[in-house]
Amino acid sequence: MGSMSRNKGAAFERQIAKELFLLTGIAFKRNLDQYQSTGLDDLRADDPAWPFAMELKRVAEGVTCRTGWKAQAQIAAVAAGKMPAVVFRFDRQETRVAVPWVALAKAYGPPVGPDEWVEMTLEGLAFLAREIMADGRNV
């Protein structure tokens, strides 16, 4: 990975940490261990009840969350004992978040299917996380 790409990713991580703090009141910090080890999430919440291990991607082009990103998020989620989430943005588009349907089931009822994912806004992720944390139905 080139330095420009790494800088773009780090800036995106800082931006999302700030936005999530404004949405939730929970502080997030970059997980710098991700550069030394594979299979780790990109942001860490200071609240251990935060239910998601987050993989962040900032790339030039695309339409939807990529399968490989979901796989990375699932590996990080297993390591962290949390549910996976992919926060991504393509150039000239809004930030999107992909989570498995099971995350919605934690908040609202039985899962639709273990391999199905849904996309939402960052605000949607914050709302979903608050719902899960409020009911103590974490992972």
Higher local confidence (pLDDT), 45 or 136: 45
DSSP string, 19-45: HHHHHHS--EEE-GGGGTSSS--SEEE
Tens-digit pLDDT profile for residues 47-70: 999 999 999 999 999 999 999 999
pLDDT of residue 133: 92
Domains by residue range for the chain, with CATH: 3-135 (3.40.1350.10)
Minimum mean pLDDT among 91-95, 112-116, 126-130: which range? 112-116
Higher local confidence (pLDDT), 115 or 65: 65
- Who contacts 100 (Cβ-Cβ below 8 Å, separation ≥6)? 83, 84, 114, 115, 116, 117, 118
- 96 forms beta bridges with 88
